[in-house]
Amino acid sequence: MTSPDAAVVAALGEPEVLAGYELAGARLHAARTPVEARLAWEHLPEDTAVVLLTPPCAAALAGLLDDPDRPLTITLPS
């Protein structure tokens, strides 16, 4: 059971790449195109603390990831 104050981990990118992270408890936000990646980033739930990004999603979000008020991001290796 998750505490109501627990931080949430999201995974943003191609579902076939991120399926294992979803099994581990990350919330999957499917994004196959740069537009989908930006929309998913803009609509992350407020309780999201960490976002795992596939390399294409990280590239699509370049320039948006340095905001200290946004979740911490981790780009997965290729």
pLDDT along the chain (78 residues), means of 10: 76 95 94 97 95 98 93 95
| pLDDT (0 to 100) of residue 4 | 65
- Three-state secondary structure along 25-65? CCEEEECCCHHHHHHHHHCCCCCEEEEEECHHHHHHCCCCC
pLDDT of residue 7: 85
pTM exceeds 0.85:
yes
Rg (CA), the chain: 12
74 close to 52: Cβ distance less than 8 angstroms: yes
Local structure of residue 1 (DSSP, 8 states): -
Contact between 12 and 60 (Cβ < 8 Å): no
